[in-house]
């Protein structure tokens, strides 16, 4: 499987600063982990 084809792009997510992506992902992960209203 060749993953390099997915790393190229010109969308907002591809152009965003890697630190911003890590920060947003961390916040989203904490929100998902602490959510009490979700049914599993």
pTM: 0.61
How many domains are there within the chain? 1
Q: Does 40 map to a domain?
A: no
Q: Does 22 map to a domain?
A: yes
Residue matched to tokens 């009490």: 36
pLDDT digits (tens, 9 = 90+) for 1-40: 566 666 677 888 888 898 999 999 999 999 988 888 767 6
Range of the domain at 17: 3-34
Beta strands per DSSP E along the chain: none
pLDDT of 37:
79
pLDDT of 1:
55
Instruction: Fill in the DSSP letter of residue 1.
Output: -
Q: Does 27 map to a domain?
A: yes
pLDDT of 40:
63
pLDDT of 35:
86
Q: Does 39 map to a domain?
A: no
pLDDT of 24:
94
Tokens standing for residue 17 = 């600063």
**Under 8 Å CB-to-CB from 32, ≥6 apart: which residues?**
38
Q: Does 18 map to a domain?
A: yes
**H/E element holding 30?**
helix 18-34
């Amino acid at each position: 499987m060749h993953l390099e084809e997915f790393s190229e792009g010109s969308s907002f997510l591809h152009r965003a600063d890697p630190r911003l992506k890590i920060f947003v992902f961390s916040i989203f992960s904490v929100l998902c982990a602490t959510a009490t209203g979700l049914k599993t």
